[in-house]
C-alpha cells in the first residue's frame, strides 16, 4: 500500500478508536455490536481505497495518452470550421467547399492548403465553366437599345431647309 493509503487507514482507525472509547465510556457493553461497526468501517475504508486506486489508475492511463493529440483534434475541428467560414465569406459555394473538405481529408491538408491541389483546381474550373455556360444562354431580343428620334416642328435647332421639307411633306398628305 502507498503512504497515502496507510495514512487514510490510520486516520479511520484512530477515529474508530475514539468512537469506541466514547461508546465504552457511556457504558455500552455490547462488544459484538462494536466489532460489527468496526468491520463495517474497515470494509468502507477498503472500498474507498480501492476506488482511489482505480481513479489513480485511470488518471495514469489518461496521462499516458498524449494530451497534445486530444487538443490537436479539437483544434483541427475548430480550425476547419474557421477556414470553412472564411472560404464561404470569400464567395465559395457550399458544394465547392464540400468537395474541398473531401480533398483536404484525403490529402491530410488544411482547407486553405488543399485549395492549391491540382484535383481541386480542375473541379473548381469545371464548376465555374458550368456556371458561366448557364448564365450565357441567349435571351430573347427586345429590339435595338436606341430609338431614332423623329424630327417635328417643335424640334430645336431645325434648319430652314429641314423646316420647308417637313412643311411640304405635311401639305402633300
**pLDDT (tens digit, 9 = 90+) per residue, 4-31?**
666 766 767 666 666 555 555 555 557 8
CA dihedral 49, 54, 60, 63 (to 10 degrees): -120
pLDDT at 125: 92
9 close to 45: Cβ distance less than 8 angstroms: yes
pLDDT at 8: 66
pLDDT at 92: 86
Nearest of 1, 14, 5, 2 to residue 45 by alpha carbon: 5
Given a cut of 70, is residue 133 above it in pLDDT? yes
Domain spans, the chain: 3-64, 67-132
Greatest mean pLDDT among 17-31, 53-67, 105-119, 130-144 lies in 105-119
Average pLDDT over residues 114-118: 89
Average pLDDT over residues 52-71: 75
Average pLDDT over residues 55-64: 84
Given a cut of 60, is residue 70 above it in pLDDT? no
Give the C-alpha separation, 79 to 169, whole Å.
Answer: 80
Amino acid at each position: 500500500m502507498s503512504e497515502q493509503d496507510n495514512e487514510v487507514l490510520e486516520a479511520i482507525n484512530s477515529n474508530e478508536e475514539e468512537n469506541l472509547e466514547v461508546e465504552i465510556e457511556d457504558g455500552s457493553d455490547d462488544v459484538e455490536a462494536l466489532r460489527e461497526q468496526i468491520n463495517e468501517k474497515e470494509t468502507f475504508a477498503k472500498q474507498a481505497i480501492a476506488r482511489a486506486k482505480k481513479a489513480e489508475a485511470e488518471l495514469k492511463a489518461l496521462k499516458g495518452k498524449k494530451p497534445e493529440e486530444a487538443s490537436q483534434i479539437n483544434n483541427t475541428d475548430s480550425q476547419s470550421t474557421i477556414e470553412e467560414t472564411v472560404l464561404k465569406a470569400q464567395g465559395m459555394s457550399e458544394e465547392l467547399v464540400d468537395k474541398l473538405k473531401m480533398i483536404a481529408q484525403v490529402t491530410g491538408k488544411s482547407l486553405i492548403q488543399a485549395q492549391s491541389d491540382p484535383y481541386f483546381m480542375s473541379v473548381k474550373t469545371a464548376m465555374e465553366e458550368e456556371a458561366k455556360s448557364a448564365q450565357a444562354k441567349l435571351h430573347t431580343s427586345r429590339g435595338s437599345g436606341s430609338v431614332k428620334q423623329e424630327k417635328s416642328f417643335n424640334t430645336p435647332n431645325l434648319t430652314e431647309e429641314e423646316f420647308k421639307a417637313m412643311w411640304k411633306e405635311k401639305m402633300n398628305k
